Amino acid sequence: MPTKDRWFYFIRQLPPGAGVIVTARGASMRPTIRSGEQVRVQRVLLSCVSRRQMAVYFSPVHRTLVIHRIIKINHFGKQITFQTKGDAVVRPDPWIVEEEDFIGIATEVKRGGRWIPLGRKKQFFPQISAYKFFDVLFTLFRRKEVCLGKALYYR
């Protein structure tokens, strides 16, 4: 079992709501977070996280802190675990994050001298195939109807 460094234990001792600033390394979260950028991390309870937020946790595989997006949350009684994935990576991480490895969520990134909020990743057309997308688009133009914020689909 890899050992966690002193920073992990220091951050874990912070009360919920407190925060720290860390420097990101690597390209797995591009373009949302770039290597070398500062990221504000807020300490939160694991029960307060939701899908598409960016979790900060200790990875036993990499033996360091990782910032990746939450893609799935599992509830087993009182135990909560989740699976993550980097924005620039095709496949989900091959490990499950457990409560003892969780630190908090990334809330802001410093880019160009200003802090930019990191909300949930927006999905404009979630879980839609290219065929369905163009079918919807064709239907909209054929009927000459415009819909703001919603896709109309007529059969």
67, exposed or middle or buried, with CB in 10 Å at 0-12, 13-18, 19+?
Answer: buried
Residue 84 has, within 13 A of its CA and on its CB side, a CA count of: 23
pLDDT at 148: 40
Residue 16: is its pLDDT beyond 80? yes
**Cβ atoms of residues 126 and 61 within 8 Å:** no
* The pair of three-digit structure tokens given for residue 8, joined into one six-digit string: 């992990």
Which pLDDT band holds residue 62 (cuts at 50, 70, 90)?
confident
Question: Are β-strands 102-111 and 54-59 bridged in parallel, bridged antiparallel, or unpaired?
Answer: antiparallel
Between residues 79 and 146, the one the model is more confident about = 79
Proportion of the chain above pLDDT 70, given as a percent: 75
Between residues 137 and 53, the one the model is more confident about = 53
**Cβ atoms of residues 107 and 19 within 8 Å:** yes
Find the DSSP H helices in the chain: 6-12, 130-143
Q: What is the pTM of this model?
A: 0.73
Ordered by start, the domain boundaries in the chain are 6-122, 124-155
Work out the mean pLDDT of the chain and round it to a whole number. Answer: 80
pLDDT at 131: 52
For 23, 70, 73, 83, 107, the CA distances from 47, given in Å and listed in that order, are 26, 13, 10, 14, 17
CATH superfamily of 6-122: Umud Fragment, subunit A (2.10.109.10)
